[in-house]
A and B are shown apart, each in its own frame.
Chain A
Amino acid sequence: MSERTRTWLFLTAIATLGVVLVLTVSVQPQTESRVSHIGSRIKCPVCQGESIADSPSQMAQDMMSLIEERVAQGATDAEIETEILAAYSGAVLLDPPMSGRTLALWLAPAAVAILGLAVIVRWRRQTPESGVTTDVGRPSSRRRLIGGVVLTVAMVTIVVIAATALQDREGPAAGVANPEAQDLENVSNETLEAVIAANDDHPDINGWRLALAERYYEAGDYRSAFPHYLAVADSGVASAAEAITSLVRLGWMAYDGNEESETALTLFDRALEIDPSSQVALYLKGTVLWCGDRDADAARDMFADLLDDPELPDESRVQIEEDLADLDAGEECT
């Protein structure tokens, strides 16, 4: 067999095999599920550098089942990612985006590759004659200068970075549900529900519950809001403001939703035990007393007291003055 035939034989074999290979591989099924794909891109907040897909920790498992749920509900990968990152502080993407602050991360290796390639190509292009160094035995002062400058800059950078890096930092505790640090607006109700369910014994979870309950409340969904307000009110660790808000909302829902004015008044009184000057509690209590046809006089006194409060916001003042005028006129509440 001549060399020529052999070459053609090999070329044909290589081309054929190459085509077959590409064809067989391109029809391969998707091996990784969407859930584990998303999970592998998110750092587990309570672990050491593991993704939530890899980590056996309870929190990571909760987050994975949340992803599973959201995938089943038809959310897109990007939506789920945004939600999870917003919902869990300390959860960050392990796959930094090719934009913004992490762009340099992708550009730096590329720059090194291009630089290296340029050096090699240049090295080759120079003819041996011009390439022979003429300064053998004599230190090049220019080279020294450049080297010195580059080194100094590099060193200063390293020292500054290190000094900063070595300082004790107090980051937010990993994995703590942290409504203030996070932008909850991007988080869907479903995600909030899941996070709350997973962290229901966490002392800081009341902020989350309230945020979610307020959403339901404003949407008129009392049924969904109710258990969260109740949990906050009963948690025993809620702040005064949180407790009052929950009690007042519970009271109003009891009256507005179920016309249980008795329950409502009890709840308002509980709120007033915490802060006897709570304007919301006083106003709503007065409203229930009036509208529930229980004690219009008491309501009138309460409204009058409220108007005496110099800290009452102007809009509320207008509203209460209107209500008081209606009351004095003996009209039905609206």
Chain B
Amino acid sequence: MMLALFGTAGVLAALTGGGLLAVRGIRVARGGKSDLIGPARLLAAGAIAAMAALEIALTADDFSLSYVANQHSTATPFPFDVATAWAALEGSIVLWGLVLAGFTWMAVRRYRKAPDSLAAGALAVMGGVAVFFFGLILTVSNPFEVCTSALEVGCAQSSPFPWSTVAAPAQGPGPNPLLQNHYLMAVHPPVLYLGYVGMTVPFAYAISALALGVPGPEWIRRSHRSTLVAWSFLTLGIVLGGWWAYEVLSWGGYWAWDPVENASFMPWLAATAFIHSGLVQQRRQMLQAWNFVLVIAVFSLTILGTFLTRSGTINSVHSFTQSAIGPALLGFLVLVLVGSFSLFATRSNLVSTSPRVDSFVSREGSFLANNLLLTVYGFVVLVGTIYPLLLEAFTGDQTAVGEPFFNRLAVPLSFLLLLFMGLGPVLPWRGSPPGQLWARVRAPIALGLAAGVATALWVSPVGWVVLAVTFATYVTSGIVGLLLEQSRARSAKGGQSIWREMRRVVVNDQTFWAGQMSHIGVVVVVVGIAFAANLSHHDEVTLEPGDQTEFAGYSIVYESPFQVREPNRLVRGARVTVLRGDDFVASLEPRANFYGSDTTGVVTPAVLSRPWGDLYLTLRDIDSERVELVLDTSPLIWMIWLGGILTAGGGAWSVSSRRQERALVRQSLIADV
């Protein structure tokens, strides 16, 4: 009861802080005077208190809270008891609120150093968004409801008033088995939320700029930078999600075009487009209107994604039970769309950008192609995700749009993007002198093709694999070639050795090279996907103890079944020895974990990782006499995780380079004069 009171008080404080921030932010933005630091502090403190109350309740097994009673069990070990705070709808919205409060706090710190009306307006927007989310926590998604009618395990009825008579059960069922099966689950949601919620910040600056009627370099600089921050987290979050799915869901895959995966991928695509087109505005004062559209689209897509995944409209691994949060989120989405675009429409006179593209054979030309492709890509994902919903809503017909549809469109679009990824970096802004593009791409093209031929001859002649290697080599060698060209030029002009100059080249234009790091990350992912998807082996075997089977160069020996009782689960599995030739490689234990009273069990694969790829064993069935095993290989799958981390790292590195940012400001100031 104390914790319910404490948590509810925290939510109320955060709600008040958000409200004050919104009201006062508007006042300050319009030229008035008011304190914004206090409300932001209140918001942050309230959010922290709410999260802390939830975490204390979970770690201290306080079953008087119905959330704890229904999601937690005394047997849930660390760190899953902590992660249970975001294992269900109500708690996940608290995490959302906390992350939002954190981003607002960062924006306030910035405002304190350099107060201006743009930042005040942005804080008002963030305050408004915070009011919505903490309002949700207080009403339709309240994790601080106290249990008023206990079951033997779990809670039957609850009340939002902390002073209600408490009837706490002695035990809860524990979190969803899938969510307590792997450590990545403790990390993936918070990181993803940092990306998702972080997209509020660029949106806030854009709305503030539109409302105040101050287009120009300031809003785009801040929106661009904050998008990079959120984008880096979002990238990492998506990759961690795929990794988790691979390690836990036991179908050997990492991405299935599941609506919820799509919900995170759509804002990623739009944000990636904005990262490029935002640069065009900063360097060439073009595309301002389009940039506003993109920023609004990114934020709207995060809300749409939350709606899709949290309203129960779509069946998915990620969907929680249906609740009143669906209509609330939908209403908010409509409000965001109508409000933002109406504002945008009325200010369109302010945002028309005059400079036009001089030549398509230029950096901005390739960015236009990139934006067109990413927009179409995002649209494919959007339509594919919501089309079955629309069709069912209108006609009652059940359809499904799945992997074959997405792959058919997404794969060609991805390769087209790679084509321009090889051109963009080697093209200068404004236009390229005749012959320069050819001189810069001929070697990458030749190298790419050579790598493709080598792959076809010695690795595999499968089309997608060869194509992936070809494009990856083409993009990478273009980047390396550019670095060599610039370092050599500096070295020839009386600089130091080419290797020392290389460092200088990178330091001098850090955001550019950070971007190239992300590009290399993307091609590494592409190669990983192509290999894992096209060159994997699959087999299903039934073995008795002592039996041996040959699979993909390994000998797999079934030793014995085993069963272990752990505090929160019963583990049943098979001991398997993996040999290569006669040499021992590893002992693996594919298993099924049974949590609580769950009788179906969570099948957990055993993964043996090697540089050339993974061996992936899944238990299908086991009894005392025999075991049915599913055997898979995932060649080079680690490249997907590594590439994802590189891509996110490029974004983070770019954010950390302030030096370049200052240079950009100077440039745009000069351009304005």
Interface flags for B448-467 (1: CB within 8 Å of A; 0: not) read 01101100110001110011
Residue from A48, A51, A105, A158 in contact with B403 in the complex, judged by beta carbons closer than 8 Å: A51
Residue from B342, B354, B376, B446 in contact with A132 in the complex, judged by beta carbons closer than 8 Å: B354
Binds B, one of A91-99, A182-190, A197-205, A232-240: A91-99
Q: Are B256 and A54 in contact (CB under 8 A)?
A: yes
Residue from B253, B316, B400, B457 in contact with A93 in the complex, judged by beta carbons closer than 8 Å: B400
Could you say which residues of chain A place their CB within 8 Å of the CB of B387?
A: 96, 102, 104-105
Category for how many chain A residues contact B: 35 or more
Residue from B316, B330, B341 in contact with A147 in the complex, judged by beta carbons closer than 8 Å: B341
Interface flags for A144-180 (1: CB within 8 Å of B; 0: not) read 1001100100110011011011100101000000000
Residue from B251, B253, B400 in contact with A43 in the complex, judged by beta carbons closer than 8 Å: B400
Closest-CB distance, B605 to chain A (whole angstroms) = 11
Most chain B beta-carbon neighbours within 10 Å: one of A14, A50, A105: A105
Q: Are A151 and B341 in contact (CB under 8 A)?
A: yes
Asked whether B485 is an interface residue with its Cβ less than 8 Å from the other chain, the reply is no
Closest-CB distance, B531 to chain A (whole angstroms) = 13
Size of B's binding interface in residues, CB under 8 A: 83
How many Å lie between the Cα of A136 and that of B350 in the bound state?
A: 7
A106-128 CB contacts (< 8 Å) to partner B: 108-109, 112-113, 116-117, 120, 123-124, 126, 128
Could you say which residues of chain A place their CB within 8 Å of the CB of B251?
A: 50, 54-56
Could you say which residues of chain B place their CB within 8 Å of the CB of A21?
A: 449, 452-453, 456, 466, 470
CB nearest to B252 among chain A residues: A54
Most chain A beta-carbon neighbours within 10 Å: one of B402, B467, B470, B618: B402
CB nearest to A55 among chain B residues: B251
How many Å lie between the Cα of A18 and that of B337 in the bound state?
A: 48
Asked whether B258 is an interface residue with its Cβ less than 8 Å from the other chain, the reply is yes
Q: Are A116 and B372 in contact (CB under 8 A)?
A: yes
Asked whether A73 is an interface residue with its Cβ less than 8 Å from the other chain, the reply is no
Interface flags for B337-379 (1: CB within 8 Å of A; 0: not) read 1100110111111001011110010000000100010011001
Could you say which residues of chain B place their CB within 8 Å of the CB of A50?
A: 251, 256
Residue from A11, A105, A133 in contact with B401 in the complex, judged by beta carbons closer than 8 Å: A105
Given A28-B462, A124-B357: A155 touches B400 (CB 8 Å cut-off): no
Could you say which residues of chain B place their CB within 8 Å of the CB of A10?
A: 442-443, 445-446
Asked whether A137 is an interface residue with its Cβ less than 8 Å from the other chain, the reply is yes
Asked whether B311 is an interface residue with its Cβ less than 8 Å from the other chain, the reply is yes
How many Å lie between the Cα of A138 and that of B442 in the bound state?
A: 49
Could you say which residues of chain B place their CB within 8 Å of the CB of A124?
A: 356-357, 360
Asked whether A298 is an interface residue with its Cβ less than 8 Å from the other chain, the reply is no
Binds A, one of B30-38, B97-105, B145-153, B388-396: B388-396
Given A14-B445, A25-B466, A108-B379: A101 touches B399 (CB 8 Å cut-off): yes
How many Å lie between the Cα of A158 and that of B394 in the bound state?
A: 12
Asked whether B567 is an interface residue with its Cβ less than 8 Å from the other chain, the reply is no
How many Å lie between the Cα of A148 and that of B341 in the bound state?
A: 9
Could you say which residues of chain A place their CB within 8 Å of the CB of B443?
A: 10
Given A96-B401, A123-B357: A20 touches B258 (CB 8 Å cut-off): no
Asked whether B438 is an interface residue with its Cβ less than 8 Å from the other chain, the reply is yes
Could you say which residues of chain A place their CB within 8 Å of the CB of B256?
A: 49-50, 54
Q: Are B345 and A101 in contact (CB under 8 A)?
A: no
Could you say which residues of chain A place their CB within 8 Å of the CB of B399?
A: 92-93, 96, 101-102
How many Å lie between the Cα of A17 and that of B349 in the bound state?
A: 52
Closest-CB distance, B358 to chain A (whole angstroms) = 9
How many Å lie between the Cα of A117 and that of B360 in the bound state?
A: 13
Interface flags for B461-499 (1: CB within 8 Å of A; 0: not) read 111001100100000000000000000000000000000
Closest-CB distance, A10 to chain B (whole angstroms) = 4
Asked whether B528 is an interface residue with its Cβ less than 8 Å from the other chain, the reply is no
Q: Are B395 and A158 in contact (CB under 8 A)?
A: no
How many Å lie between the Cα of A54 and that of B438 in the bound state?
A: 45
Q: Are B376 and A105 in contact (CB under 8 A)?
A: no
CB nearest to B341 among chain A residues: A151
Interface of chain A, main secondary structure: helix
Interface flags for A53-78 (1: CB within 8 Å of B; 0: not) read 01110000000000000000000000
Q: Are A14 and B453 in contact (CB under 8 A)?
A: no
B315-332 CB contacts (< 8 Å) to partner A: 315-317, 326-327, 330
CB nearest to A145 among chain B residues: B345
Given A49-B402, A165-B392: A144 touches B620 (CB 8 Å cut-off): no
Q: Are B345 and A14 in contact (CB under 8 A)?
A: no
Given A109-B376, A133-B354: A96 touches B393 (CB 8 Å cut-off): no
Closest-CB distance, B247 to chain A (whole angstroms) = 16
Could you say which residues of chain A place their CB within 8 Å of the CB of B316?
A: 48-49
Q: Are A17 and B375 in contact (CB under 8 A)?
A: no
Asked whether A270 is an interface residue with its Cβ less than 8 Å from the other chain, the reply is no
Most chain A beta-carbon neighbours within 10 Å: one of B333, B376, B383, B397: B376
Residue from A18, A24, A126, A151 in contact with B456 in the complex, judged by beta carbons closer than 8 Å: A24
Asked whether A139 is an interface residue with its Cβ less than 8 Å from the other chain, the reply is yes
Residue from B250, B463, B470 in contact with A56 in the complex, judged by beta carbons closer than 8 Å: B250
Q: Are A17 and B389 in contact (CB under 8 A)?
A: no
Q: Are A155 and B338 in contact (CB under 8 A)?
A: yes
How many Å lie between the Cα of A186 and that of B342 in the bound state?
A: 52
Closest-CB distance, B509 to chain A (whole angstroms) = 27
Could you say which residues of chain A place their CB within 8 Å of the CB of B356?
A: 123-124, 126, 128, 131
Asked whether A251 is an interface residue with its Cβ less than 8 Å from the other chain, the reply is no
Residue from B376, B380, B400, B452 in contact with A92 in the complex, judged by beta carbons closer than 8 Å: B400
Q: Are A139 and B315 in contact (CB under 8 A)?
A: no
Closest-CB distance, B225 to chain A (whole angstroms) = 26
Could you say which residues of chain A place their CB within 8 Å of the CB of B456?
A: 21, 24-25
How many Å lie between the Cα of A316 and that of B342 in the bound state?
A: 74
Q: Which 5 pairs of residues, A with B, have the shortest CB-CB distance?
A: A94-B402, A147-B345, A95-B404, A17-B449, A24-B456
Please list 22 pairs of residues, one from A and one from B, whose beta carbons are closer than 8 Å in the complex, sorted by A's number.
A7-B442, A13-B446, A13-B449, A20-B453, A24-B457, A28-B462, A40-B403, A40-B404, A43-B402, A51-B403, A56-B250, A109-B376, A109-B383, A113-B376, A116-B372, A124-B360, A139-B346, A155-B338, A164-B394, A165-B313, A166-B313, A169-B392
